[in-house]
Amino acid sequence: MKLVVAVVHNEDARSLIDALLAAEYRATWLHSTGGFLKQSNATILLGVDEAKVEEVVALVRQQCHSRTQTVSPMIPIMEPGEFFMPYPLEVEVGGAVVFVVPVDRFERI
């Protein structure tokens, strides 16, 4: 068995969960926050047979899309007379970041 951990955009999380459930996978949706942008995203956990991993990753690829987000930089502490122009920064957020990790033991109790 493998644990698939997919960090996805909030806007794609519902359609991904719906597609996974329609394909009869079990999934857990965690509300998470990206360390860099400090914006909420979603982390989906799925325990699946190794043979199903590619099918799951294909569903993630189908449902999740990359986007460009604009971030306003933090205004630094400045000395009197210094000037800072806070140009917004464009960041490409991927469709999904997927980790596939081995599971030593799985039980439903």
Whole-Å CA distances, 64 to 21, 26, 97:
16, 18, 10
Q: How far is the CB of 99 from ligand 2BA (least distance, A)?
A: 7
Binding positions for ligand 2BA, rule: CB under 6 A = 7, 34-37, 41, 91-94, 97
**Residues linked to residue 101 through DSSP beta bridges, in sequence order:** 3
Choose between 23 and 39: whose C-beta lies nearer to ligand 2BA.
39
Q: Which is nearer to ligand 2BA, 79 or 90 (CB)?
A: 90
Comparing CB distances to ligand 2BA, the nearer of 7 and 16 is: 7
User: 10 Å Cβ neighbour count for 26?
Assistant: 11
Q: Find the shortest distance in angstroms from Cβ 73 to ligand 2BA.
A: 12
CB of 25 to ligand 2BA, least distance (A): 21
Alpha helices in the chain (DSSP H): 10-22, 53-63
- Longest Cα–Cα distance of the chain, Å, equals 65
Least Å distance, CB 39 to ligand 2BA, is 6
Between 88 and 94, CB nearer to ligand 2BA: 94
Angle (CA) 107-16-103 rounded to 5° is 25
